[in-house]
A and B are shown apart, each in its own frame.
Chain A
Amino acid sequence: MTTATTTGARVEIIDLSASYGRTRVLDGVRLTVEPGGWLAVIGPNGSGKSTLLRCALGLHTHDGMVRIDGVPAAGMPRRERARQVAYAPQSPVLPEAVSTRDYVLLGRTPHRALLAAPRASDRRVVADVMERLEIGDLADRQLRTLSGGEQQRAVLARALAQQPRVLLLDEPTAALDLGHAQQVLDLVDGLRRQDGLTVLSSLHDLTLAGQYADRLALLSAGRVAAEGPPDEVLTAAALRTHYGARAEVVRGPDGPAVLPVR
């Protein structure tokens, strides 16, 4: 029952511009993620990937508009937005001496009165989500004692406990080794396919981005330099221009693979 009650929403980012002080970090960004689609935002360090996600959540002041299924996100009450959009930041703040179950329960916050105790239905959603992400056995463990991969799954579980229609993931694999990175991405892909969740993520690993996302957007200096299917966006020329990198792009069965060249 639980997470499968949702279907993905269309996310439209329209002429989004944002600054830190006088430094403009995003400049007229236009992107659309179809319902159930996965758009991965790639780009060199400092290109504005994280800021884009933070703007989509309303955490950073911006010009332009973000629409969730046609409704401007800025006009939504925060609780309502939190039922539509869940967010897993690049470096989540992990509270001390809190059990994994209690941490995942925080995801139910937008579904209950802020001052009230969690209901039985909240606990059921949390148990389901944790089972699904295979961290059910870790429910009573303190969050801080889990391994990096387990913590990443706990953060993802908290986001899914919101029963969102859109998942915003900022570098979900940043702290993970290749195996755990694939595990998390497989998981997100499975959720997307089963529930029709819309996924908007930043990913710094280009090969993984190309293998998992159905569309890529290459941000460079705050602008969208290229947007489209992985094969079109990931080219040796683009990597040279925007990353200053020497690399070959090899066509693989699951998408293009980026091979650095000395």
Chain B
Amino acid sequence: MTVTTGSTRAGEAHVDRVRVRSRRRPALVLGGALLALVAAVLAGIWVGAFPLPPGAVVLTLVDRVATALGGGHVSGGLDATGTAVLLQLRLPRVLLAVLVGAGLAVSGAAFQGVFRNPLADPYLLGAAAGAGLGATLVIAYSPAQEIGPFGIVPLAAFAGALVGVGCALALGTAAGGSQSATLLLAGIAVASFLAAGQTLVQQQNTEDLREVYGWLLGQLGRSQWSDVGMVLPYLGAAVVVLLLCGRALDVLAVGDDEASSLGVHPGRVRLLVILAASLATASAVAVSGLIGFVGLVVPHIARRLIGSSYHLVLPASLLIGGAFLVLCDLVARVVLSPAELPIGVVTAFIGAPFFAGLLWVGARRR
């Protein structure tokens, strides 16, 4: 396919559906997605080797908050073991899944908007390859395991992702200004180079292969509150910026020339969105490894439900992405319990058939 056209083949499937959805529909879809997210979180906390019933979980949390605020105790919560499992294991893990899923999905939607390309995903500009190289390097060579409260692998992955995107942006800008096709090609060049570097390091250190491979496939199994604390500031700031940029991305959909004639600086918008999306991606990758599929497909699911305007696609992707990853993580924990499946495998196993089904239904409706 061609990379830059505003008119994409995928979109022509929608065209025959002549009536655009009624104006109340977006609010319904966003409300539904929010409910789905809440339900997914409760289910994610509930299900596991040590089941935590949602009613008791809610009461325990209410009790905690009430106690912290100096109010009375609320009874009916979990016992001591349950509370420990909830607070030390389940809750940080589920929250991290929400953050990572939401961050990847919003970044994916933003990248698709910026590049006007439905095949774009958060890893496109070298974030994944950079993070992979960074993580592999420290797994193979670093004597230290931690710096301060943070693990060395997340830090290296975070830095690697940012370096990867930075190289792609620098190369793309030097080669052709802020045009999206040039940037995309620069990203592909940088990603291949870094991926080759990662493969080389990995081949030289086969004894670390298992650990590297486990990281590459994505993992939420070792989630701690410190992980949540590490990603939340960056991811939160980036996501807020991206959500604010929705309307600007809608203007960019008419192409650079026309967007300029409407008073917008396409290059500046693109740079801001790419920086924010890359920051979100780097944060997510740092704590969870390379979880594929969420960033590519969740935006398409959101689009099917809510239309193509980015000021709606972005928040919808956020909610759906969070819910989707929590459910995938739940499946990853349960299927081979007590062993875990790599979450990257589960996202594709669940997501691919689901998305194929959506495509099929969409095609039949024509």
Contact = CB atoms under 8 A, between A and B. Distances in A.
Contact of B258 (A79, A93, A145): A93
A78 B266 CA distance: 11
Contacts of A142: 14-15, 17-18, 20
Interface string B30-57: 0000000000000000000000000000
B15 A144 contact: yes
A85 to B, nearest CB: 8
A115 B244 contact: yes
B321 to A, nearest CB: 20
B350 interface: no
Contacts of B257: 54, 57, 59, 87, 89
A140 interface: yes
B253 to A, nearest CB: 4
B73 interface: no
B275 interface: no
Contacts of B7: 93-94, 96
Nearest to B19: A140
Interface in A43-90: 54, 57-59, 78-83, 85-87, 89
Contacts of A94: 6-7, 254
A241 B65 CA distance: 86
B317 to A, nearest CB: 15
A92 B261 CA distance: 12
B245 A98 contact: no
A209 B255 CA distance: 28
Nearest to B304: A97
Contacts of B203: none
Contacts of A115: 244-245, 247-248
Contacts of A78: 260, 263-265
Contacts of B307: 97-98
A93 B254 contact: yes
Nearest to B255: A93
Given A114-B247, A142-B14, A95 B6 contact: yes
Given A96-B12, A115-B247, A82 B261 contact: yes
Contacts of A141: 18-20
Contact of A95 (B19, B245, B265, B308): B308
B20 A140 contact: yes
Nearest to A109: B262
Contacts of B258: 87, 89, 92-93
A116 interface: yes
Contact of A106 (B17, B244, B254, B265): B254
B14 A87 contact: no
A81 B263 contact: yes
Contacts of A109: 251, 262-264
B179 interface: no
A116 B247 CA distance: 7
Contact of A59 (B16, B254, B261): B261
B64 interface: no
A97 B264 contact: no
Given A59-B261, A110-B262, A117-B247, 7 more contacts: A94-B6, A97-B20, A114-B264, A115-B245, A140-B20, A142-B18, A144-B12
6 contacts: A57-B257, A85-B261, A96-B15, A99-B20, A102-B309, A162-B262
Interface of A: 54, 57-59, 78-83, 85-87, 89, 92-99, 102, 106-107, 109-110, 114-117, 140-142, 144-145, 162
Interface of B: 6-8, 11-12, 14-20, 244-245, 247-248, 250-251, 253-255, 257-258, 260-265, 303, 307-309, 311
The 3 closest A-B pairs by CB, nearest first: A82-B263, A96-B11, A110-B263
